Amino acid sequence: LPVAVLISGGGSNLQALIDARQAGELPVELRAVISNRADAYGLTRAARAGIATRVLSHKAFGSRAEYDRALAALLDELAPGLVVLAGFMRILTPKFVAGFRGRMFNIHPSLLPKYPGLHTHRRALEAGDSEHGATVHFVTEELDGGPPVLQARVPVLPGDDAERLAARVLEQEHRIYPLAVRWLATGRLWLDETGRPVLDGRP
Ligand code: GRF
């Protein structure tokens, strides 16, 4: 399954996918890494792994719609079977997302539907939650609102600050993202026509 990975920063989730592939645990072709920022360290990770990289800077476009049209054209050229958003910090237009229904994942550092949006670790701490986590979900028009595919839970521990909690969550992201991509790549997971994820034939 050809996969395109979209990043904006460090690319630790991209690295987890690269490592899973190297370990023979992820039967996909990482066809390209696309970043909206030229300084994303994830581009270095991709280059080291021999993966094609593209930078599509949002600064070069006058509107979100124009950016998304250029991104869609780039992806059409790459023809991925799956688009993986991995630390990609742009909001995609509904028109763009509709073109990848059932073929685009995102990972969000919270137990969705709790804490969509930003600063999820600080919000969990401020709420006094005893647990927190990460969610892999299909991307739909609703920001961080697509149907969850896989979640990981971590305890919130005494003395946690946002950085320590984020690190504990990130560790789990690196475990569940390759797993979710593998499920889709091996046909165990798909989005049915009513928009519900199906795993191993079970809704
Ligand atoms: C992290 O906060 C992660 O929780 C979220 O995006 C951020 C950067 O991830 N998915 P990465 O290291 O660039 O993959």
Which atom of ligand 1 is least distant from the CA of 169? 4
The residues near 179 (Cβ < 8 Å, ≥ 6 apart) are 150
- Check the annotation: does 91 bind a ligand: yes
Contact 96, 73 (CB under 8 A): no
DSSP string, 130-152: SEEEEEEEE--SSTT-SPEEEEE
**How does pLDDT run across 63-103, given as a tens digit for each residue?**
999 999 999 999 999 999 999 999 999 999 999 999 999 99
Q: Among 12, 88, 165, say which to mutate for ligand 1: greatest number of ligand atoms within 8 Å of CB.
A: 12
**How does pLDDT run across 16-45, given as a tens digit for each residue?**
999 999 999 999 999 999 999 999 999 999
Distance CA 115, CA 26 (A): 30
Per-residue confidence band for 201, with pLDDT thresholds at 50, 70 and 90: confident
Q: What is the DSSP letter of 59?
A: G
Q: Among 88, 108, 120, 170, say which to mutate for ligand 1: greatest number of ligand atoms within 8 Å of CB.
A: 170
Q: What is the distance in A from the centroid of ligand 1 to the CA of 86? A: 6
Distance CA 83, CA 96 (A): 12
Which atom of ligand 1 is least distant from the CA of 89? 6
133 lines ligand 1 (CB under 6 A): no
Q: What is the DSSP letter of 89?
A: -
Residue 65, classed as helix, strand or coil, is helix
6's tokens = 């979209």
**How does pLDDT run across 98-153, given as a tens digit for each residue?**
999 999 999 999 999 999 999 999 999 999 999 999 999 999 999 999 999 999 99
Q: What is the DSSP letter of 119?
A: -
Phi first, then psi, for residue 42 (nearest 5°) are -60, -25
